[in-house]
A and B are shown apart, each in its own frame.
Chain A
Amino acid sequence: MSLQLDFPAVLERWPSFLAGAALTLELAAFATVLGALFGTLAAVGRGTHNALIAGACKVYVETIRNTPLLVQIFLVYFGLASLGLKFSAFTVAVAALTINVGAYTAEIMRAGFEAIPRGQIEAAEGLALSRLQIYWHIILLPAIEKVYPALTSQFVLLMLASSVCSQISAEELTAVANYIQSDTYRAFETYIIVAVLYVILSLVMRAGFWGLGLVLFPRRRRLGTPL
């Protein structure tokens, strides 16, 4: 039972750690933006009267939410390869994370849509707003405002989940850690540093979303609702 930690030996690789952290953020940013769009479309699709579209969206959401991300990543990775399509690990990772977070976003957005009082939509119709105007101003924006906290914590979870992309050799933070630990034989120190970096990344993301919320939804601030 002797524990000898040698952090300097690992910390001298800091440029690699930084590059990995940057790629993790980049992965998360792409997947967040694309997944938010994709998930919102799926939520809209689930609410339509077309049974085929609504059914397809439901199957998508339930399938993704009930299978592990690791399996999804492998399926996308080998699925594209078996179609003869060659993409970089980064592209595959973004695609898999987008598909994954899209399903969770769809569920959250659906809750947001359901929380819009019918009376407000009727009032907008009474004021002769066009369908597009109603969708944008009365349904979509207020729905996002309502579920903003849930959405942002989902996106932070996505950033953490992107560590799984190390398994298809996308060079993000966890992959960098795997490489450094096999090079230095200092596994414990390496993963402690990486854990600290992930905690910092998630704090940075949360602070960023909080600031963005203040800018995007000034009404929330005036109402005094804690984000």
Chain B
Amino acid sequence: MGGHLNINHLMFLGQGALWTIGLSAIALIGGGIVGFVIALARISPLKSVRIASALYVQLIQGTPLLVILFLGYFGLAAIGLQVSPLAAAGASLTLYVAAYLGEIWRGCIQSVPKPQWEAAEGLALSRTQRMMKVILPQAIRIATPPTVGFMVQIIKNTSLASVVGFVELMRSGQIVNNSLFEPFAIYAIIAVTYFAMCYPLSLFSQRLERRMGRGRSNLAPA
């Protein structure tokens, strides 16, 4: 205890902030890949695939991320895999993000107007061609604003990785606090740092949404 906040502490916090960004990127990429599969599985022609993916989404969305993180951390250890906190946090966040992104993207795919699906079928495109060439290019445009908005949730949620001992921004704040014991000042700095990471994304998402609204109102009704 004792001492004042100095440049070394700030460097340490900065390093934590970089790990927050890194973990967010892992969660976004991993969760994006798995989530894309989930989105397609949710609208699969096979009933069993639809049910299984819906069950996955329901289970993950009904469980707190904190519990999923503990399950990832202790669960992997229980089957004899000694994993680093980074691997446990990355895997847990991937599973978590996949469920939410999968649901968001399913909605976006299904909100592509029905005539587009029918027209693609009428042109004798195969199921894959219809998805790749007609539906997905339009769905991606619809999906961009909510996905950017969800990135804010991902960044905020990586703070929970601190409880399994991964040293990201929150954990590095706790470590600094343990030596200085100025909790209010330090957590205020942490909060400002998170805000600086999240707010630009929030604004960007809102702007995309407004632009989309304009773009869509220009379309003639189908």
Checking B67, B79, B160 against A194 with a beta-carbon cut-off of 8 angstroms, the contacting residue is: B67
User: Which residues B56-85 have CB closer than 8 A to chain A?
Assistant: 58-59, 61-68, 70-71, 74-75, 77-80
Which residues in B have their C-beta under 8 angstroms from that of A178?
Answer: 70
Question: Cα distance A55–B195 when bound, in Å?
Answer: 17
B138 within 8 Å of A (CB atoms): no
Whether B194 contacts A195 by the Cβ 8 Å rule is no
Q: Is the interface of B mostly helix, strand, loop or mixed?
A: helix
State whether the Cβ of A135 lies closer than 8 Å to any Cβ in chain B: no
A68 touches B183 (CB 8 A): no
- The one of A78, A79, A164, A198 in contact with B62, judged by C-beta atoms closer than 8 angstroms, is A198
The interface size bin for chain A is 35 or more
> In whole angstroms, how far apart are the Cα atoms of A198 and B162 in the complex?
21
- Interface status of A167 (Cβ within 8 A of chain B): yes
A82: chain B residues at CB < 8 Å are 183-184
In the complex the two chains form, is B70's CB within 8 Å of A65's CB?
no
Indicate if the CB atoms of B183 and A78 lie closer than 8 Å.
yes
Number of interface residues of B (CB under 8 A): 37
Q: How far is the CA of A202 from the CA of B59 in the complex (A)?
A: 10
**How far is B199's CA from A48's CA once the two chains are assembled, in angstroms?**
24
Nearest CB on B from A142, distance (A): 23
CA distance A16 to B166 in the complex (A): 29
Chain B residues lying within 8 Å of A154, measured Cβ to Cβ, are none
Across-interface contacts of A164 in B (CB, < 8 A): 64, 66, 160
Task: Judge whether B198 and A199 touch: CB under 8 Å.
Answer: no
Asked if B187 and A202 sit within 8 Å, CB to CB, the answer is no
Chain B residues at the A interface, C-beta cutoff of 8 Å: 58-59, 61-68, 70-71, 74-75, 77-80, 152, 156-157, 159-160, 162-163, 170, 183-184, 187-188, 190-191, 194-195, 198-199, 202
**A interface residue numbers (CB < 8 A to B):** 1-3, 5, 62-63, 65-72, 74-75, 78-79, 81-82, 160-164, 166-167, 174, 177-178, 181, 187-188, 191-192, 194-195, 198-199, 202-203
